[in-house]
Amino acid sequence: MIVAGNWKMFDGPDPSTVLAVDGVEVIVAPPYTRLRDCVAAGLTTYAQNVHWEPEGAYTGEVSPRMLADLGVHGAIVGHSERRQYFGERDTYVARRAEAALTAGLGVIACVGETQEERDNGDTATVLRVQVEAVASVCGEHERLVLAYEPVWAIGTGKTATPELAQEAHALIKTLLDRPVLYGGSVKPDNAEELMAQPDIDGALVGGASLDVESFAAICQAAARSTS
């Protein structure tokens, strides 16, 4: 099981307070200003984004090589907030993922539908397009992990039912046979039921990862789901 905490644009907790949990790969994804602190604390540390070029005139971006030089282990790509607020396209997500993997980093590639797309019955089509964009350039790379995050459940307090989440994860795995995390208002009180589903391989946690006790409880729920 994998549990990744996305701190988004928050300073986050003291890295020394984030504890390992047996049977769970615990990842933290702090803002760029906290990457060095998290690496120094011995945490498996991912950036929240990465560019596809090793260097160049790309203001505001960070390259895979730069992250690797810091001791960072990987990067999230294609998060719904990147897609929504910064116009991130599927082709860009795929290029970021490919470059990071080529540089030896791990990747969590995010996919998911909006409320409108779900209401229109387009969930399967959206997931197919997004996953196949990554699969076409990365294949079943051993360091590639996917995250299903229904956009309508990000920061809204809404959560897909375990049955809905399982259905989406099962579909994604028919398209690309890699681990798939669930992301969408994961909290201690729903984590265990979600991660008990057969095709859910962990969680990408947002707000709840900013509280050390909540994040630890989710990691412990993940550990129980494997026992």
The catalytic residue positions are: 79, 149
113 pairs with which residues across the strands?
none
- Comparing CA positions, the residue from 27, 24, 74 lying closest to residue 209 is 27
SS3 category, 41: coil
- Sequence-distant (≥ 6) Cβ neighbours of residue 119 within 8 angstroms: none
Alpha-carbon distance of 122 to 178, in angstroms, equals 23
Query: What separation in angstroms does the CA of 101 have from each of 6, 9, 97, 176?
Result: 19, 24, 6, 16
SS3 category, 25: strand
Q: Residues of 170-206 as b/e, b for ≥16 C-beta within 10 angstroms?
A: ebbbebbebbbbbbbbbbbebbbebbebebbbbbbbb
* Backbone angles phi and psi of 4, in degrees to 5: -115, 130
